Amino acid sequence: MTDLPPPLASLSLANLALTLDDRGIATLSLNRPQKRNALDAATVGELIRAFTAFPEAGVRAVILRAEGPHFCAGLDLVEHHGADRSPAEFWQLCLRWHEAFNRMEYGGIPVIAALKGAVVGGGLELASAAHIRVADASTYFALPEGSRGLFTGGGATIRVADLVGKARMIDMMLTGRIYRGAEAVEVGLAQYLVEDSEAKARELAEATAANLPLTNFAICSAISHMQNMSALDAAYAEATVAGIVNTQPDARARLKAFADGTGPRIKPGQG
C-alpha cells in the first residue's frame, strides 16, 4: 500500500475506507457493517467525492468491496423514515445517487465489485454501476422496494433492466424474487461466481490495470455512452473513439510485439 496522493488524502471519508496500492489499484470499502452498509445521504456524498477524485489521482482500477457479511442493504430506510422527506427532497437525493453511480459507470476507470451477502435494493443499484460484478456463494440479489412501498430511485430501471431485462426486473420488484448462485450469473446479475469474490476481484483488477489507461477509459465510458445513442450515432462515435484509441503512441510497442511474434497469442486455457 502507498500513502494516498493529494486528491485522495484530503477526501475525509467516514463511511467508506480507501487504500491504494503501488500499481494504482484503489480498494474502496463500504464501511458501515453495523448498518449492513445501508446507503445514507452521507455515504452517497462520499461515493461522489471518491469517484470524482480517482481520475485526477491516476487510479487505474477500483475494487469496490464491503466490510461485514453483506455488501449493501440499499437505501438507509431508518434515515429515510426519520427524515420524513418531501417529494422534492427525495427527488434531489436520487439525483445525488445518480451522480455517484454515473461517475462510476462513465468515469473511464474499471470498477470491479466484490460481492457477498445482501446486494439488495439500492445496493444492487450500486453494484450495477460497476463494470464487473464478482459474486460468491453467500451473495444474493433482490429488489425489495415493492414490498416496502417504495420504488427504485438509484438507476435500477436503467442498469438492472439492462442486465436482466425488463420482465425479470418487474418480477423481482413485484414478487421479491431473489437470485443467487449460478442462476444469478445466468440472468446477468454477476459475471463471475467464485469461492472468494475479493481474491477474484483483485485478480481482475490487476489484469485490467495492465491495459493502457486510454483503452480502459474508452471501454469504461464509451460503451455506456453509446448505449444511449441511436445505432447510427453509436457506430459513428465508435469509429471516433477507435480513431483516437487505436492510434495512441503507447499501443505501438504492443502492436510491434505482435507483429514480430513476441506478443501474446490469444488461446484458451491462458486464464
Strands 111-114 and 132-135: parallel
| Contact stretch for ligand 1HE (CB under 6 A) within 35-43, 167-175, 227-235, 237-245 | 35-43
Asked about 125 being catalytic, the answer comes back as yes
Cα separation, 262 vs 248, in Å, equals 20
Q: Which three cell numbers stand for residue 92?
A: 434531489
x-or-dash pattern for ligand 1HE, window 86-125, by CB under 6 A?
A: --------x--x--------------------x-xxx---
Full DSSP string of 19-37: EE-TTSEEEEEE--GGGTT
Residue 169 as a binder of ligand 1HE (CB under 6 A): the answer is no
Amino acid at 100: A
Q: Which is nearer to ligand 1HE, 137 or 207 (CB)?
A: 137
Q: Which is nearer to ligand 1HE, 26 or 127 (CB)?
A: 127
Which residue of the set 46, 125, 203, 238 is catalytic? 125
φ, ψ for residue 256 (rounded to 5)? -60, -45
x-or-dash pattern for ligand 1HE, window 57-76, by CB under 6 A?
A: -------------x--xxxx
Amino acid at 24: G
Helix axes 156-164, 166-175, angle to 10 degrees: 110
Please, what is the minimum distance in Å from the beta carbon of residue 71 to ligand 1HE? 9
Give every strand in the sheet of 61-66, ordered side by side: 16-20, 25-30, 61-66, 111-114, 132-135, 192-193
Q: Which is nearer to ligand 1HE, 99 or 206 (CB)?
A: 99
With CB under 6 A as the contact rule, the residue among 9, 14, 78, 137 that binds ligand 1HE is 78
Please, what is the minimum distance in Å from the beta carbon of residue 121 to ligand 1HE? 3
Cα separation, 219 vs 236, in Å, equals 16
Residue 242's alpha-carbon distances to 222, 233, 239, 246, 250, in angstroms, are 10, 14, 5, 5, 14
Residues of span 38-57 touching ligand 1HE by CB under 6 A: 38
With CB under 6 A as the contact rule, the residue among 113, 150, 160, 164 that binds ligand 1HE is 150
Which residue of the set 67, 145, 198, 203 is catalytic? 145
Q: Which three cell numbers stand for residue 182?
A: 449460478
Cα separation, 82 vs 139, in Å, equals 29
Please, what is the minimum distance in Å from the beta carbon of residue 153 to ligand 1HE? 3
Q: Which three cell numbers stand for residue 259?
A: 507483429
Please, what is the minimum distance in Å from the beta carbon of residue 194 to ligand 1HE? 22
Residues contributing to the site for ligand 1HE (CB under 6 A): 35-36, 38, 70, 73-78, 94, 97, 118, 120-122, 144-145, 148, 150, 152-154
Query: Where in the sequence numbering do the catalytic residues fall?
Result: 125, 145
